[in-house]
Chains A and B, each alone.
Chain A
Amino acid sequence: MKQTKLILIGSVLFASSIFVNVAHATTIIDRATMLANTCAGCHGTNGISQGPLTPSIAGLPKSYLSESMHDFASGKRASTVMQRIAKGYTEADIQALSEYFSKLPDEKSLKAAKKETNHSHHGHNH
Protein backbone atom coordinates (compact mmCIF):
# COMPACT_ATOMS: atom_id res chain seq x y z
CA MET A 1 0.00 0.00 0.00
CA LYS A 2 2.91 2.32 0.63
CA GLN A 3 3.97 2.03 -3.00
CA THR A 4 0.46 2.77 -4.20
CA LYS A 5 0.46 6.00 -2.26
CA LEU A 6 3.82 6.98 -3.68
CA ILE A 7 2.53 6.49 -7.21
CA LEU A 8 -0.48 8.66 -6.53
CA ILE A 9 1.71 11.42 -5.19
CA GLY A 10 3.95 11.04 -8.23
CA SER A 11 0.99 11.23 -10.57
CA VAL A 12 -0.26 14.41 -9.02
CA LEU A 13 3.13 16.03 -9.07
CA PHE A 14 4.12 15.35 -12.67
CA ALA A 15 2.65 16.09 -16.07
CA SER A 16 -0.38 14.21 -17.38
CA SER A 17 1.71 12.17 -19.86
CA ILE A 18 3.02 10.26 -16.89
CA PHE A 19 -0.49 8.93 -16.29
CA VAL A 20 -0.15 6.81 -19.41
CA ASN A 21 3.18 5.44 -18.27
CA VAL A 22 1.75 4.52 -14.91
CA ALA A 23 -1.23 2.86 -16.56
CA HIS A 24 1.15 0.88 -18.77
CA ALA A 25 3.01 -0.22 -15.72
CA THR A 26 0.09 -2.38 -14.57
CA THR A 27 0.06 -4.57 -17.69
CA ILE A 28 1.49 -4.28 -21.17
CA ILE A 29 -1.32 -6.33 -22.65
CA ASP A 30 -4.48 -7.58 -21.02
CA ARG A 31 -6.14 -10.96 -21.37
CA ALA A 32 -8.64 -9.67 -23.96
CA THR A 33 -5.79 -8.51 -26.22
CA MET A 34 -3.99 -11.81 -25.69
CA LEU A 35 -7.10 -13.69 -26.83
CA ALA A 36 -7.87 -11.29 -29.69
CA ASN A 37 -4.34 -11.55 -31.10
CA THR A 38 -5.02 -15.17 -32.00
CA CYS A 39 -7.99 -14.20 -34.21
CA ALA A 40 -5.87 -12.03 -36.54
CA GLY A 41 -4.57 -14.98 -38.56
CA CYS A 42 -7.98 -15.57 -40.12
CA HIS A 43 -9.98 -12.38 -39.41
CA GLY A 44 -7.21 -9.85 -40.03
CA THR A 45 -5.09 -7.53 -37.91
CA ASN A 46 -7.38 -5.44 -35.67
CA GLY A 47 -10.31 -7.50 -36.93
CA ILE A 48 -10.21 -6.07 -40.47
CA SER A 49 -10.21 -8.88 -43.04
CA GLN A 50 -8.58 -8.64 -46.47
CA GLY A 51 -11.05 -11.23 -47.80
CA PRO A 52 -12.13 -12.90 -50.04
CA LEU A 53 -14.52 -14.66 -47.63
CA THR A 54 -13.58 -14.49 -43.95
CA PRO A 55 -15.49 -11.51 -42.49
CA SER A 56 -14.13 -8.50 -40.64
CA ILE A 57 -15.19 -8.57 -36.98
CA ALA A 58 -14.06 -5.10 -35.85
CA GLY A 59 -16.76 -2.71 -34.68
CA LEU A 60 -19.60 -5.25 -34.62
CA PRO A 61 -22.02 -4.97 -31.66
CA LYS A 62 -20.81 -6.81 -28.58
CA SER A 63 -24.09 -8.70 -28.24
CA TYR A 64 -23.89 -9.92 -31.86
CA LEU A 65 -20.30 -11.13 -31.39
CA SER A 66 -21.00 -13.01 -28.16
CA GLU A 67 -24.23 -14.49 -29.55
CA SER A 68 -22.35 -15.66 -32.66
CA MET A 69 -19.71 -17.39 -30.53
CA HIS A 70 -22.40 -19.15 -28.48
CA ASP A 71 -24.35 -20.18 -31.58
CA PHE A 72 -21.24 -21.47 -33.34
CA ALA A 73 -20.31 -23.50 -30.27
CA SER A 74 -23.81 -24.97 -29.84
CA GLY A 75 -24.26 -25.63 -33.57
CA LYS A 76 -27.31 -23.38 -33.75
CA ARG A 77 -25.49 -21.34 -36.36
CA ALA A 78 -23.97 -23.44 -39.15
CA SER A 79 -20.23 -23.00 -39.75
CA THR A 80 -17.17 -24.78 -41.07
CA VAL A 81 -14.27 -23.62 -38.89
CA MET A 82 -15.85 -21.50 -36.15
CA GLN A 83 -17.84 -24.40 -34.63
CA ARG A 84 -14.45 -25.89 -33.73
CA ILE A 85 -12.82 -22.65 -32.57
CA ALA A 86 -15.77 -21.26 -30.54
CA LYS A 87 -15.75 -24.30 -28.24
CA GLY A 88 -12.29 -23.33 -26.98
CA TYR A 89 -13.37 -20.38 -24.84
CA THR A 90 -14.96 -19.79 -21.43
CA GLU A 91 -17.87 -17.40 -20.98
CA ALA A 92 -15.44 -14.82 -19.59
CA ASP A 93 -13.22 -15.24 -22.67
CA ILE A 94 -16.19 -14.76 -25.01
CA GLN A 95 -17.29 -11.62 -23.18
CA ALA A 96 -13.73 -10.22 -23.22
CA LEU A 97 -13.28 -10.96 -26.94
CA SER A 98 -16.69 -9.54 -27.86
CA GLU A 99 -16.02 -6.38 -25.89
CA TYR A 100 -12.56 -6.01 -27.45
CA PHE A 101 -13.67 -6.31 -31.08
CA SER A 102 -16.84 -4.25 -30.57
CA LYS A 103 -14.66 -1.30 -29.54
CA LEU A 104 -12.34 -1.43 -32.56
CA PRO A 105 -13.11 0.88 -35.49
CA ASP A 106 -14.88 -0.90 -38.36
CA GLU A 107 -13.80 -0.68 -42.00
CA LYS A 108 -16.21 2.12 -42.80
CA SER A 109 -15.01 4.40 -40.03
CA LEU A 110 -11.36 3.63 -40.83
CA LYS A 111 -11.97 4.65 -44.45
CA ALA A 112 -13.79 7.77 -43.35
CA ALA A 113 -10.98 8.70 -40.98
CA LYS A 114 -8.46 8.19 -43.77
CA LYS A 115 -10.48 10.37 -46.11
CA GLU A 116 -10.75 13.02 -43.41
CA THR A 117 -6.96 13.05 -42.99
CA ASN A 118 -6.37 13.24 -46.73
CA HIS A 119 -8.78 16.14 -47.19
CA SER A 120 -8.37 17.80 -43.83
CA HIS A 121 -7.45 21.16 -45.39
CA HIS A 122 -10.87 21.36 -47.05
CA GLY A 123 -12.53 20.94 -43.69
CA HIS A 124 -16.17 21.09 -44.82
CA ASN A 125 -16.87 17.74 -46.42
CA HIS A 126 -18.56 15.42 -43.91
Chain B
Amino acid sequence: MTQISRRDLLKGSAITAVGATTGLATIATASDHSKHSHAKTNSKRVVIVGGGIGGATAAQYLKRMDSSIDVTLIEANKDYHTCFMSNEVIGGVRPLKSIHFTYDKLAEKGVKVIFDSVTEIDPEKQIITTKDNKVLRYDRAIVSPGIDFKYDDIEGYSKEVAETSIPHAWKAGPQTALLRKQLEEMKDGGTFVIVAPPNPFRCPPGPYERASLVAAYFKKYKPNSKIVILDPKEKFSKFGLFMDGWKRHYGYGTDDSIITWIGKDKGGAVSKVDVATKTVTAEAGDFKADVLNIIPPQTAGPIAFETDLVGDLDWCSVDHKTFESTIHKNIHVIGDASIASPMPKSGYSANSQAKVCAAAIASSLNGVPMPDPSWVNTCYSIIAPKDGVSVAMVYAYKDGKIIKVKGSGGLTGPYNAEDRKREELYAHSWFNNITADIFG
Protein backbone atom coordinates (compact mmCIF):
# COMPACT_ATOMS: atom_id res chain seq x y z
CA MET B 1 0.00 0.00 0.00
CA THR B 2 1.49 3.29 -1.07
CA GLN B 3 1.19 5.92 1.60
CA ILE B 4 0.13 9.31 0.44
CA SER B 5 -0.01 12.15 2.93
CA ARG B 6 -2.88 14.57 2.99
CA ARG B 7 -0.51 17.34 1.92
CA ASP B 8 0.72 15.35 -1.10
CA LEU B 9 -2.85 14.70 -2.00
CA LEU B 10 -3.70 18.36 -1.89
CA LYS B 11 -0.62 19.30 -3.85
CA GLY B 12 -1.24 16.60 -6.42
CA SER B 13 -4.89 17.33 -6.90
CA ALA B 14 -4.31 21.01 -7.39
CA ILE B 15 -1.77 20.60 -10.20
CA THR B 16 -4.24 20.73 -13.04
CA ALA B 17 -7.94 20.80 -13.53
CA VAL B 18 -7.57 17.89 -15.94
CA GLY B 19 -5.91 15.79 -13.27
CA ALA B 20 -8.56 16.68 -10.77
CA THR B 21 -11.36 15.77 -13.14
CA THR B 22 -9.86 12.36 -13.71
CA GLY B 23 -9.50 11.95 -10.00
CA LEU B 24 -13.23 12.41 -9.71
CA ALA B 25 -13.89 9.88 -12.42
CA THR B 26 -11.70 7.36 -10.66
CA ILE B 27 -13.50 7.88 -7.40
CA ALA B 28 -16.84 7.50 -9.08
CA THR B 29 -15.72 4.20 -10.58
CA ALA B 30 -14.41 2.92 -7.30
CA SER B 31 -17.62 3.87 -5.54
CA ASP B 32 -20.05 2.56 -8.11
CA HIS B 33 -18.71 -0.37 -10.11
CA SER B 34 -22.04 -1.37 -11.62
CA LYS B 35 -22.55 2.03 -13.16
CA HIS B 36 -19.12 3.06 -14.44
CA SER B 37 -16.64 0.20 -14.48
CA HIS B 38 -17.65 -1.01 -17.93
CA ALA B 39 -17.12 2.35 -19.58
CA LYS B 40 -13.89 2.82 -17.68
CA THR B 41 -12.37 -0.53 -18.72
CA ASN B 42 -13.26 0.09 -22.33
CA SER B 43 -11.48 3.41 -22.43
CA LYS B 44 -7.96 2.02 -21.95
CA ARG B 45 -7.39 -0.41 -24.80
CA VAL B 46 -4.06 -0.21 -26.58
CA VAL B 47 -3.30 -2.47 -29.52
CA ILE B 48 0.31 -2.68 -30.66
CA VAL B 49 1.07 -3.78 -34.19
CA GLY B 50 4.53 -5.32 -34.46
CA GLY B 51 6.56 -7.01 -31.73
CA GLY B 52 10.02 -5.74 -32.59
CA ILE B 53 12.11 -3.48 -30.37
CA GLY B 54 9.61 -0.60 -30.41
CA GLY B 55 6.44 -2.68 -30.02
CA ALA B 56 7.69 -5.03 -27.31
CA THR B 57 9.19 -2.16 -25.29
CA ALA B 58 5.97 -0.15 -25.54
CA ALA B 59 3.95 -3.16 -24.32
CA GLN B 60 6.23 -3.64 -21.30
CA TYR B 61 6.31 0.02 -20.32
CA LEU B 62 2.57 0.64 -20.77
CA LYS B 63 1.98 -2.17 -18.25
CA ARG B 64 4.65 -0.72 -15.94
CA MET B 65 3.13 2.74 -16.06
CA ASP B 66 -0.51 1.68 -15.66
CA SER B 67 -1.28 -2.02 -15.20
CA SER B 68 -4.99 -1.37 -15.79
CA ILE B 69 -4.36 -0.58 -19.46
CA ASP B 70 -5.52 -3.45 -21.67
CA VAL B 71 -2.44 -4.07 -23.85
CA THR B 72 -2.58 -6.38 -26.88
CA LEU B 73 0.50 -7.05 -28.99
CA ILE B 74 0.04 -8.48 -32.48
CA GLU B 75 3.15 -10.05 -33.97
CA ALA B 76 3.50 -12.36 -36.96
CA ASN B 77 6.33 -14.53 -35.62
CA LYS B 78 6.79 -16.43 -32.37
CA ASP B 79 10.57 -16.15 -32.65
CA TYR B 80 12.37 -12.83 -32.72
CA HIS B 81 16.01 -12.32 -33.63
CA THR B 82 17.59 -8.96 -32.86
CA CYS B 83 19.25 -7.16 -35.73
CA PHE B 84 21.80 -5.75 -33.32
CA MET B 85 24.61 -8.25 -32.66
CA SER B 86 23.56 -10.22 -35.76
CA ASN B 87 26.83 -9.05 -37.34
CA GLU B 88 28.63 -11.04 -34.65
CA VAL B 89 26.69 -14.10 -35.81
CA ILE B 90 27.69 -13.38 -39.42
CA GLY B 91 31.32 -12.92 -38.31
CA GLY B 92 31.15 -16.25 -36.47
CA VAL B 93 31.76 -14.95 -32.94
CA ARG B 94 28.33 -15.72 -31.46
CA PRO B 95 25.63 -18.33 -32.20
CA LEU B 96 22.29 -17.39 -33.76
CA LYS B 97 20.46 -18.66 -30.69
CA SER B 98 22.11 -15.95 -28.57
CA ILE B 99 20.12 -13.29 -30.45
CA HIS B 100 16.86 -15.27 -30.25
CA PHE B 101 14.03 -14.03 -28.02
CA THR B 102 10.38 -14.95 -27.39
CA TYR B 103 7.29 -13.22 -26.01
CA ASP B 104 6.74 -15.55 -23.02
CA LYS B 105 7.73 -12.97 -20.40
CA LEU B 106 5.50 -10.28 -21.92
CA ALA B 107 2.53 -12.63 -21.66
CA GLU B 108 3.43 -13.38 -18.02
CA LYS B 109 3.32 -9.64 -17.32
CA GLY B 110 -0.23 -9.34 -18.59
CA VAL B 111 0.35 -8.35 -22.22
CA LYS B 112 -2.06 -10.20 -24.51
CA VAL B 113 0.22 -11.54 -27.23
CA ILE B 114 -1.44 -12.63 -30.46
CA PHE B 115 0.61 -14.34 -33.18
CA ASP B 116 -1.17 -13.15 -36.29
CA SER B 117 -0.82 -10.62 -39.10
CA VAL B 118 -2.72 -7.37 -39.31
CA THR B 119 -4.64 -7.05 -42.56
CA GLU B 120 -6.33 -3.71 -41.93
CA ILE B 121 -6.32 -0.78 -39.56
CA ASP B 122 -9.44 1.38 -39.77
CA PRO B 123 -8.44 4.76 -38.32
CA GLU B 124 -12.04 6.06 -38.36
CA LYS B 125 -13.69 3.18 -36.53
CA GLN B 126 -10.50 2.45 -34.57
CA ILE B 127 -10.63 -1.23 -35.46
CA ILE B 128 -7.83 -3.62 -36.37
CA THR B 129 -8.53 -6.75 -38.39
CA THR B 130 -6.18 -9.73 -38.63
CA LYS B 131 -5.54 -12.54 -41.07
CA ASP B 132 -7.28 -14.96 -38.68
CA ASN B 133 -10.33 -12.65 -38.81
CA LYS B 134 -9.87 -11.28 -35.33
CA VAL B 135 -11.38 -7.82 -34.87
CA LEU B 136 -9.85 -5.63 -32.18
CA ARG B 137 -11.10 -2.22 -31.10
CA TYR B 138 -8.55 0.23 -29.81
CA ASP B 139 -8.50 3.53 -28.02
CA ARG B 140 -4.88 3.95 -29.04
CA ALA B 141 -2.90 1.93 -31.55
CA ILE B 142 0.88 1.78 -31.69
CA VAL B 143 2.25 0.83 -35.09
CA SER B 144 5.83 -0.40 -34.91
CA PRO B 145 6.27 -2.21 -38.21
CA GLY B 146 10.00 -1.74 -38.70
CA ILE B 147 11.26 -1.63 -42.27
CA ASP B 148 10.45 -2.95 -45.71
CA PHE B 149 12.72 -3.14 -48.75
CA LYS B 150 12.59 -1.53 -52.19
CA TYR B 151 13.75 -4.65 -54.00
CA ASP B 152 12.78 -3.15 -57.35
CA ASP B 153 15.43 -0.44 -57.06
CA ILE B 154 18.01 -3.11 -57.90
CA GLU B 155 17.04 -4.84 -61.13
CA GLY B 156 17.02 -8.61 -60.73
CA TYR B 157 16.74 -8.56 -56.95
CA SER B 158 13.60 -9.75 -55.13
CA LYS B 159 12.30 -11.09 -51.84
CA GLU B 160 12.60 -14.64 -53.20
CA VAL B 161 16.23 -14.11 -54.23
CA ALA B 162 16.98 -12.62 -50.80
CA GLU B 163 15.51 -15.65 -49.05
CA THR B 164 17.27 -18.25 -51.17
CA SER B 165 20.62 -17.12 -52.57
CA ILE B 166 21.54 -13.45 -52.05
CA PRO B 167 20.44 -12.50 -48.52
CA HIS B 168 20.03 -8.95 -47.29
CA ALA B 169 20.18 -10.26 -43.70
CA TRP B 170 18.88 -6.82 -42.64
CA LYS B 171 16.13 -8.46 -40.62
CA ALA B 172 17.80 -11.03 -38.44
CA GLY B 173 16.85 -14.71 -38.50
CA PRO B 174 17.02 -17.24 -41.36
CA GLN B 175 18.90 -14.83 -43.65
CA THR B 176 21.51 -14.20 -40.95
CA ALA B 177 22.09 -17.96 -40.80
CA LEU B 178 22.18 -18.22 -44.61
CA LEU B 179 24.79 -15.47 -44.97
CA ARG B 180 26.95 -17.02 -42.24
CA LYS B 181 26.72 -20.44 -43.94
CA GLN B 182 27.73 -18.96 -47.30
CA LEU B 183 30.77 -17.25 -45.75
CA GLU B 184 31.80 -20.49 -44.01
CA GLU B 185 31.51 -22.42 -47.28
CA MET B 186 33.34 -19.80 -49.35
CA LYS B 187 36.78 -20.84 -50.50
CA ASP B 188 39.82 -18.90 -49.28
CA GLY B 189 40.64 -16.29 -51.89
CA GLY B 190 36.98 -15.51 -52.53
CA THR B 191 35.31 -12.10 -52.66
CA PHE B 192 32.49 -10.97 -50.38
CA VAL B 193 30.57 -8.05 -51.86
CA ILE B 194 28.30 -5.87 -49.71
CA VAL B 195 25.89 -3.51 -51.46
CA ALA B 196 25.17 -0.73 -48.95
CA PRO B 197 21.85 1.17 -48.97
CA PRO B 198 21.21 4.91 -49.44
CA ASN B 199 20.06 7.05 -46.48
CA PRO B 200 17.93 6.80 -44.46
CA PHE B 201 18.09 3.17 -43.40
CA ARG B 202 18.03 0.92 -40.33
CA CYS B 203 21.25 0.88 -38.30
CA PRO B 204 23.47 3.42 -40.10
CA PRO B 205 26.84 1.92 -39.00
CA GLY B 206 25.58 -1.65 -39.60
CA PRO B 207 26.95 -2.38 -43.09
CA TYR B 208 30.41 -1.20 -42.04
CA GLU B 209 30.42 -3.18 -38.82
CA ARG B 210 29.39 -6.19 -40.89
CA ALA B 211 32.36 -5.65 -43.22
CA SER B 212 34.62 -5.28 -40.15
CA LEU B 213 33.53 -8.49 -38.46
CA VAL B 214 33.71 -10.51 -41.68
CA ALA B 215 37.18 -9.02 -42.27
CA ALA B 216 38.21 -10.23 -38.80
CA TYR B 217 36.94 -13.71 -39.75
CA PHE B 218 38.78 -13.66 -43.09
CA LYS B 219 42.00 -12.41 -41.47
CA LYS B 220 42.00 -15.40 -39.13
CA TYR B 221 40.54 -18.19 -41.28
CA LYS B 222 40.63 -17.14 -44.95
CA PRO B 223 43.51 -14.66 -45.25
CA ASN B 224 43.46 -14.46 -49.05
CA SER B 225 39.84 -13.36 -49.19
CA LYS B 226 38.61 -9.84 -49.90
CA ILE B 227 35.62 -7.62 -49.13
CA VAL B 228 34.23 -4.98 -51.48
CA ILE B 229 31.64 -2.50 -50.22
CA LEU B 230 29.67 -0.77 -52.98
CA ASP B 231 28.03 2.33 -51.59
CA PRO B 232 25.79 5.04 -53.08
CA LYS B 233 26.87 7.43 -50.29
CA GLU B 234 29.83 9.79 -49.98
CA LYS B 235 30.27 9.06 -46.30
CA PHE B 236 28.72 6.95 -43.59
CA SER B 237 28.17 6.74 -39.85
CA LYS B 238 31.36 6.64 -37.72
CA PHE B 239 33.31 7.13 -40.98
CA GLY B 240 36.56 8.27 -39.36
CA LEU B 241 36.46 5.56 -36.71
CA PHE B 242 35.92 2.80 -39.28
CA MET B 243 38.62 4.14 -41.61
CA ASP B 244 41.10 4.31 -38.74
CA GLY B 245 40.12 0.84 -37.51
CA TRP B 246 40.31 -0.70 -40.97
CA LYS B 247 43.83 0.74 -41.39
CA ARG B 248 44.99 -0.68 -38.05
CA HIS B 249 43.39 -4.13 -38.45
CA TYR B 250 42.87 -4.86 -42.11
CA GLY B 251 45.54 -2.92 -44.05
CA TYR B 252 43.02 -0.44 -45.43
CA GLY B 253 44.52 1.86 -48.04
CA THR B 254 47.30 -0.60 -48.97
CA ASP B 255 47.36 -3.05 -51.90
CA ASP B 256 46.84 -5.90 -49.45
CA SER B 257 43.78 -4.40 -47.79
CA ILE B 258 41.08 -6.92 -46.95
CA ILE B 259 38.43 -4.19 -47.35
CA THR B 260 37.82 -1.96 -50.35
CA TRP B 261 35.14 0.71 -50.01
CA ILE B 262 33.78 2.26 -53.19
CA GLY B 263 31.70 5.33 -52.40
CA LYS B 264 29.47 7.52 -54.53
CA ASP B 265 32.18 9.53 -56.29
CA LYS B 266 34.02 6.32 -57.26
CA GLY B 267 30.85 4.83 -58.78
CA GLY B 268 29.59 2.76 -55.85
CA ALA B 269 25.87 3.02 -56.71
CA VAL B 270 24.48 -0.37 -57.81
CA SER B 271 21.59 -0.68 -60.26
CA LYS B 272 21.45 -4.34 -61.26
CA VAL B 273 22.25 -7.89 -60.18
CA ASP B 274 22.73 -11.08 -62.19
CA VAL B 275 21.55 -13.65 -59.70
CA ALA B 276 23.02 -16.75 -61.39
CA THR B 277 26.60 -15.42 -61.41
CA LYS B 278 26.25 -13.19 -58.31
CA THR B 279 27.47 -10.24 -60.35
CA VAL B 280 26.33 -6.70 -59.55
CA THR B 281 26.50 -3.76 -61.91
CA ALA B 282 27.64 -0.51 -60.34
CA GLU B 283 28.53 2.82 -61.98
CA ALA B 284 32.15 1.73 -61.53
CA GLY B 285 31.56 -1.51 -63.44
CA ASP B 286 30.66 -5.15 -62.82
CA PHE B 287 31.65 -6.90 -59.60
CA LYS B 288 31.48 -10.68 -59.38
CA ALA B 289 31.04 -12.02 -55.87
CA ASP B 290 31.51 -15.43 -54.29
CA VAL B 291 29.22 -14.35 -51.49
CA LEU B 292 26.90 -11.44 -52.16
CA ASN B 293 24.98 -9.37 -49.61
CA ILE B 294 22.58 -6.78 -51.00
CA ILE B 295 21.06 -4.40 -48.46
CA PRO B 296 18.33 -2.66 -50.49
CA PRO B 297 16.92 0.85 -50.07
CA GLN B 298 14.33 0.90 -47.30
CA THR B 299 10.91 2.22 -46.35
CA ALA B 300 8.54 1.90 -43.40
CA GLY B 301 6.93 -1.56 -43.05
CA PRO B 302 3.97 -2.48 -45.33
CA ILE B 303 1.16 -1.82 -42.82
CA ALA B 304 2.26 1.85 -42.65
CA PHE B 305 1.54 2.16 -46.38
CA GLU B 306 -1.69 0.15 -46.26
CA THR B 307 -2.97 2.40 -43.45
CA ASP B 308 -1.76 5.56 -45.21
CA LEU B 309 0.49 6.60 -42.36
CA VAL B 310 3.18 7.71 -44.82
CA GLY B 311 1.49 10.31 -47.01
CA ASP B 312 3.85 11.05 -49.92
CA LEU B 313 6.87 9.85 -47.99
CA ASP B 314 8.58 6.51 -47.38
CA TRP B 315 8.37 6.93 -43.59
CA CYS B 316 5.75 8.04 -41.07
CA SER B 317 5.54 11.63 -39.94
CA VAL B 318 4.74 11.86 -36.21
CA ASP B 319 4.28 14.37 -33.43
CA HIS B 320 7.68 14.42 -31.74
CA LYS B 321 6.31 14.49 -28.20
CA THR B 322 3.70 11.71 -28.41
CA PHE B 323 4.64 9.86 -31.62
CA GLU B 324 1.03 10.20 -32.73
CA SER B 325 0.73 10.10 -36.50
CA THR B 326 0.30 13.52 -38.11
CA ILE B 327 -2.15 11.85 -40.53
CA HIS B 328 -4.34 9.64 -38.33
CA LYS B 329 -5.46 10.47 -34.80
CA ASN B 330 -4.96 7.89 -32.03
CA ILE B 331 -2.40 5.91 -34.05
CA HIS B 332 1.17 6.28 -32.85
CA VAL B 333 4.19 5.20 -34.90
CA ILE B 334 7.54 4.39 -33.27
CA GLY B 335 10.90 2.91 -34.18
CA ASP B 336 12.51 2.70 -37.61
CA ALA B 337 9.22 3.44 -39.42
CA SER B 338 8.84 6.87 -37.81
CA ILE B 339 10.48 10.13 -38.82
CA ALA B 340 12.20 11.04 -35.56
CA SER B 341 15.23 12.77 -37.03
CA PRO B 342 17.73 13.76 -35.57
CA MET B 343 17.42 10.36 -33.87
CA PRO B 344 18.88 7.58 -36.02
CA LYS B 345 16.97 4.41 -36.94
CA SER B 346 18.52 2.25 -34.24
CA GLY B 347 17.42 -0.31 -31.66
CA TYR B 348 18.25 2.05 -28.82
CA SER B 349 16.21 4.82 -30.47
CA ALA B 350 13.20 2.49 -30.87
CA ASN B 351 13.48 1.42 -27.21
CA SER B 352 13.74 5.03 -26.05
CA GLN B 353 10.91 6.26 -28.31
CA ALA B 354 8.63 3.42 -27.14
CA LYS B 355 8.96 4.57 -23.53
CA VAL B 356 8.13 8.19 -24.40
CA CYS B 357 5.18 7.00 -26.51
CA ALA B 358 3.97 4.76 -23.66
CA ALA B 359 4.20 7.73 -21.28
CA ALA B 360 2.18 9.86 -23.73
CA ILE B 361 -0.53 7.23 -24.14
CA ALA B 362 -0.74 6.19 -20.47
CA SER B 363 -0.94 9.87 -19.48
CA SER B 364 -3.54 10.70 -22.10
CA LEU B 365 -5.75 7.68 -21.28
CA ASN B 366 -5.73 8.81 -17.65
CA GLY B 367 -6.36 12.43 -18.56
CA VAL B 368 -3.15 13.72 -17.00
CA PRO B 369 -0.21 15.62 -18.49
CA MET B 370 2.98 13.81 -19.46
CA PRO B 371 6.36 15.12 -18.34
CA ASP B 372 8.77 16.65 -20.85
CA PRO B 373 10.19 13.78 -22.87
CA SER B 374 13.82 12.69 -22.85
CA TRP B 375 15.60 10.24 -25.12
CA VAL B 376 19.00 8.62 -25.39
CA ASN B 377 20.68 6.78 -28.21
CA THR B 378 23.92 4.86 -27.90
CA CYS B 379 25.05 2.77 -30.89
CA TYR B 380 28.00 0.47 -30.45
CA SER B 381 29.96 -1.04 -33.32
CA ILE B 382 32.71 -3.61 -33.11
CA ILE B 383 35.53 -2.99 -35.58
CA ALA B 384 37.59 -6.00 -34.46
CA PRO B 385 37.75 -8.17 -31.34
CA LYS B 386 38.64 -5.88 -28.40
CA ASP B 387 38.03 -2.77 -30.52
CA GLY B 388 34.58 -1.34 -29.80
CA VAL B 389 33.41 2.19 -30.68
CA SER B 390 30.20 4.11 -30.18
CA VAL B 391 28.16 7.15 -31.02
CA ALA B 392 25.94 8.56 -28.28
CA MET B 393 23.46 11.41 -27.87
CA VAL B 394 20.96 12.81 -25.39
CA TYR B 395 17.81 14.25 -26.96
CA ALA B 396 15.28 16.75 -25.64
CA TYR B 397 12.01 18.25 -26.89
CA LYS B 398 11.94 21.88 -27.95
CA ASP B 399 9.55 23.93 -30.07
CA GLY B 400 7.71 20.87 -31.29
CA LYS B 401 10.84 18.99 -32.33
CA ILE B 402 13.25 16.39 -31.01
CA ILE B 403 16.62 18.13 -30.66
CA LYS B 404 20.13 17.05 -29.74
CA VAL B 405 21.09 18.42 -26.34
CA LYS B 406 23.92 20.85 -27.06
CA GLY B 407 27.29 19.76 -25.75
CA SER B 408 26.21 16.15 -25.21
CA GLY B 409 26.96 13.06 -27.24
CA GLY B 410 29.38 12.38 -30.02
CA LEU B 411 31.83 9.71 -31.05
CA THR B 412 34.46 7.57 -29.34
CA GLY B 413 37.76 9.43 -29.17
CA PRO B 414 41.13 8.55 -30.74
CA TYR B 415 42.39 4.97 -30.42
CA ASN B 416 43.26 3.83 -26.94
CA ALA B 417 43.57 0.05 -26.46
CA GLU B 418 42.18 -0.06 -22.93
CA ASP B 419 39.15 2.12 -23.75
CA ARG B 420 38.36 0.14 -26.90
CA LYS B 421 38.46 -3.12 -24.97
CA ARG B 422 36.04 -1.60 -22.47
CA GLU B 423 33.73 -0.37 -25.22
CA GLU B 424 33.43 -3.88 -26.63
CA LEU B 425 32.40 -5.10 -23.17
CA TYR B 426 30.00 -2.16 -22.84
CA ALA B 427 28.51 -3.17 -26.19
CA HIS B 428 27.90 -6.68 -24.86
CA SER B 429 26.51 -5.27 -21.60
CA TRP B 430 24.20 -3.06 -23.61
CA PHE B 431 22.99 -6.06 -25.60
CA ASN B 432 22.25 -8.05 -22.42
CA ASN B 433 20.52 -5.14 -20.72
CA ILE B 434 18.43 -3.82 -23.57
CA THR B 435 17.17 -7.27 -24.55
CA ALA B 436 16.20 -7.92 -20.91
CA ASP B 437 14.44 -4.54 -20.88
CA ILE B 438 12.49 -5.47 -24.03
CA PHE B 439 11.83 -9.21 -23.73
CA GLY B 440 12.74 -10.08 -20.12
* B-binding residues in A (CB < 8 A): 1, 3-4, 6-8, 10-11, 14-31, 33-35, 37-45, 49-54, 80-81, 84-85, 87-89, 93
B 382-422 binary contact with A (CB < 8 Å = 1; else 0): 00000000101110100000000101111010000001001
Q: Is the CB of B430 within 8 A of A7?
A: no
Count how many chain B residues have C-beta atoms less than 8 Å from C-beta atoms of the other chain. Answer: 70
Contact B355 A53 (CB under 8 A): no
B19 to chain A: which residues have CB within 8 Å?
Answer: 25-27
Q: B1-45 CB contact bits vs A (8 Å, 1 = yes)? A: 110100011101111110111111011001100000000000000
| Residues on the B chain within 8 Å of A31, using CB | 371-372
Which of B273-281, B299-307, B356-364 lies at the interface?
B356-364
Decide yes or no whether B436 CB sits under 8 A from chain A: yes
Asked if A85 contacts B366 (CB within 8 A), the reply is no
Mind listing 9 A-B residue pairs with CB under 8 Å? A3-B13, A4-B20, A10-B24, A21-B23, A26-B13, A28-B370, A33-B371, A34-B372, A52-B425
Contacts of B362 in A (CB 8 A): 28-29
B66 at the binding interface (Cβ < 8 Å): yes
Q: Main secondary structure on chain A at its contact with chain B?
A: helix
Q: A50-B432, A89-B405 are in contact. List 15 more A-B contacts (CB 8 A).
A: A10-B23, A14-B30, A19-B2, A21-B23, A25-B366, A26-B368, A27-B371, A34-B371, A39-B376, A44-B433, A53-B425, A80-B426, A84-B408, A84-B409, A88-B396
Q: Does B429 contact A (CB under 8 A)?
A: yes
Bound-state CA distance A45–B429 (Å) is 12
| B residues with CB within 8 A of A | 1-2, 4, 8-10, 12-17, 19-24, 26-27, 30-31, 61, 65-66, 348, 351-352, 355-356, 359, 362-363, 366-376, 378, 390, 392-394, 396, 405, 407-410, 412, 419, 422-423, 425-426, 428-430, 432-434, 436-437, 440
* Residue numbers in B under 8 Å from A25 (CB-CB): 12-13, 19-20, 22-23, 26, 366-368
Given contacts A42-B430, A53-B429, A80-B412, A23 and B8 within 8 Å (CB-CB): yes
Tell me the smallest distance from the CB of A91 to a CB of chain B, in Å: 14
Q: Which residues of B contact A84 (CB under 8 A)?
A: 392-393, 408-410
Contacts of B23 in A (CB 8 A): 3, 7, 10, 21-22, 25-26
Q: Is the interface of B mostly helix, strand, loop or mixed?
A: helix
Contact, CB under 8 Å: B437 / A40: yes
Interchain CA distance A44-B21 in the complex, whole Å: 36
For residue B48, give the distance in angstroms from its CB to the closest CB of chain A: 17
| B4 / chain A contacts, CB cutoff of 8 Å | 19-20, 22-23
- Also in contact, A34 and B408, with CB within 8 A (given A7-B24, A28-B65): no
Contact B433 A88 (CB under 8 A): no
**In the docked arrangement, what's the CA distance between A84 and B22, Å?**
40
- Whether B9 lies near A8 (C-beta < 8 A) is yes
Q: In whole angstroms, how far apart are the Cα atoms of A10 and B366 in the complex?
A: 18
Q: Are A24 and B392 in contact (CB under 8 A)?
A: no
Decide: A45 near B408, CB < 8 A? Known: A18-B26, A28-B65. no
User: Once the chains bind, are B27 and A41 in contact (CB under 8 Å)?
Assistant: no
Closest to B61 in A: A37
B27 touches A3 (CB 8 A): no
Nearest first, the 5 A-B pairs at minimum CB distance are A88-B394, A88-B408, A54-B429, A26-B12, A53-B425
Residues of A within 8 A of B363 (CB): 27-29
Chain B positions within 8 Å of A27 at CB level = 15, 19, 363, 368-371
